[in-house]
Chains A and B, each alone.
Chain A
Amino acid sequence: MPTIYTNPRFPFRRPPELDGKGGSARVVIVGAGLVGLTLALDLARHGIASVVLDDDDTVSFGSRAICFAKRSLEIYDRLGLGQKLLDKGVTWKVGKVFFGSSLTYAFDLLPEGGHRMPAFVNLQQYYLEEWLVEACIETGLIDLRWKSRVVSVDPRDDGVRLDVETPEGAYVLEAEWLAACDGARSTVREALGLPFVGQVFRDRFLIADIVLKTEVPFPTERWFWFDPPFHPGQSVLLHKQPDGVWRIDFQLGWEADPEEEKRPERVAPRIRAMLGRDVVFDLEWVSVYTFRCRRLERFRHGRIFFVGDSAHQVSPFGARGGNGGIQDADNLAWKLAAVLKGMAPDGLLDSYDAERIPATDENILHSTRATDFITPKTEAARAYRDAALLLAREHAFAREMVNSGRLSLPHSYAASPLSTPDSDAWAGGPPPGAPCVDAPLADGFLLNRLGNDPVLLRFGDGITGSLPGLHTVTVPSEGVAADRYAASAGTAYLVRPDQHVAARFRTPSTDCLAAALARLYGRAAVEAAREAA
């Protein structure tokens, strides 16, 4: 163990601070994991340099987060890594739910065509981290500092002072802005003494990643069993990954001994019971985990932002951990870039809390409900669960109650202060705050046309209203794109740099576009205050 993948070792390079130079950075990111690297790359795409500190010198051990949801794939496509994910990852969209020894129902997560990205791609986290490191280096804007441990954090009004330890000595680094992407056991969070409270679930799960040596003609689908004959009384989840790796999650119950359950002699019989007595396989990675749902009260603390697992934790059912963290980075990067470039007031950064806290609460709610469904706490809860599963064979209404994880869908920033509420009548289309929906165009896909900057997406020619300097994308006023945006000739959507909708108009005027753009960058509040003064 493991045999498929050898972790790269990134070199420690002596930073200038150890020789009395440097000492300051506009943006420092703590943690070169999935979320920290994504944030660094997104900032670089906006022209912002950063220093990334990581106490290790490699990518993640074991496959860890494996299910990348459509919205995450669209974010990585915007950042230039989408094709790599599609080429290497295992694409899936069908899920099946079993109860006892029989199939209860199957579901299709993306029955509609005409999207560049599928519902999900399964990929070991280490591959994506490795590509992110390469992409970060290519930008020439990201100073990746491996073997660099943050040992103290001193927040100030105008920045953050960090003490960093390295194999060749310690130094002080002054950051204008700090992003804590240092995971569930965040050093920065602990240094600030911030409470991180929530619900602990009294259950244990075994994750086994295996490489099959025997041919098993098994479909590329997500299979979930409640109470299967090969693992009675518990649940099992199966996913396929690249390189012939299969991820199996066995529910073990609270009484299980984590150390004992991790032993290969213990794991192998469980896998044989499931896949057959004669199946030959290698154990690639084994882990036993418990989980909890919790978050910080606020994700912004002055000049410090908590991003990903340092800010919130969820149960794995629904693939909301990694995908949530990626969406945090996607939300913060353009805002921080706009403030650093002087395009927006500091207040824009408060919208990171206003938008990502409701998104996090949605993830926590769904993952808590899934966990309660999978692990019923009372006899009554188990009876209701089993009844829903039994009814689900025949009845669609009961399938909607069966919860083996409500799989991560993009969050809509419905109540965002950056959105301009609709003033026209709309019958469909993504409302303000929602992510833009993809659609096929004559020469590719709609989302690929939007880029990293705010865009006016116009349907048809002969449009009213324009703004100097605002990038415009024009698409036909008839066809799939127009249908998905409930658009007619003249319709325009103002799209944010993170490709969410800021505002939409049937017949935009220059004034209403200017007002919507000012609101998007948090300038409306500042201007209103100035006028009042």
Chain B
Amino acid sequence: MLDTAAKLADPDAVFVTLVRAHHDLSPEESRRLDAALVLLLANHIGDAAVLEQAIEHARRAVCAPTGATEDQGTPP
């Protein structure tokens, strides 16, 4: 089972670490860095079912039609 509970003690620091990892890289290197990271973490997890669930969540987040919710973020 993919565990989506918040687990990081300092999420801001982890976010900064990920962004910093791309420092000075070309766009192509940047794409490859992310791919390498995913492969390393997938191997660390070591569970194809969990990986598939993660892919499903990620696709749902990225491919969801925007503006679909009722709240438009502007005053009524």
Contacts and interface: CB of A to CB of B under 8 A. Distances in A.
Range of interface residues on A (Cβ < 8 Å): 35 or more
Interface in A88-115: 96, 98-103
A100 B14 CA distance: 24
A102 B72 contact: yes
B73 A401 contact: no
B66 A384 contact: no
B25 interface: yes
A373 to B, nearest CB: 7
A378 interface: yes
Contact of A394 (B12, B14, B57): B57
Nearest to B63: A390
Nearest to B30: A380
B16 A369 contact: yes
Contacts of A217: 75-76
Contacts of B48: none
Interface stretch (A34-42, A198-206, A223-231): A223-231
Interface string A122-143: 0000000000000000000000
Interface string A358-378: 000000001001001100101
Contacts of B15: 369, 373, 384, 388, 401, 403
Nearest to A100: B66
A369 B12 contact: yes
B18 A384 contact: yes
A371 B74 CA distance: 23
A192 B74 CA distance: 49
Nearest to B69: A102
A379 B30 contact: yes
A103 B8 CA distance: 24
A223 B71 CA distance: 12
B1 interface: no
Contacts of A391: 57-58, 61
A116 B4 CA distance: 36
Interface string A218-242: 1000010100101000000000000
B60 interface: yes
A274 interface: yes
A533 to B, nearest CB: 45
A276 interface: yes
B6 A396 contact: yes
B19 interface: yes
Contacts, number: 99
A518 B68 CA distance: 62
Contacts of B75: 216-218, 275-276
Nearest to B67: A101
B66 A102 contact: yes
Contacts of B27: 379
B73 A394 contact: no
A384 B19 contact: yes
B16 A372 contact: yes
Given A103-B69, A378-B19, A397 B8 contact: yes
A381 B67 contact: no
A314 B22 CA distance: 25
Interface in A389-418: 390-391, 393-397, 399-401, 403, 406
Contacts of A384: 15, 18-19
Contacts of B44: none
Nearest to B76: A217
Interface in B31-76: 33-34, 57-58, 60-62, 64, 66-69, 71-76
Contact of A274 (B14, B18, B61, B74): B74
B4 A397 contact: yes
B76 A390 contact: no
Contacts of B71: 98, 102-103
A334 B73 CA distance: 46
Given A369-B12, A378-B22, A400-B12, 16 more contacts: A100-B66, A101-B72, A102-B67, A216-B76, A228-B74, A372-B19, A373-B15, A379-B30, A380-B33, A381-B22, A387-B61, A390-B62, A394-B60, A396-B5, A400-B8, A401-B11
Interface of A: 96, 98-103, 216-218, 223, 225, 228, 230, 274-276, 366, 369, 372-373, 376, 378-381, 384, 387-388, 390-391, 393-397, 399-401, 403, 406
9 closest A-B pairs by CB? A380-B22, A98-B73, A397-B6, A103-B71, A400-B11, A390-B61, A101-B67, A102-B69, A100-B66
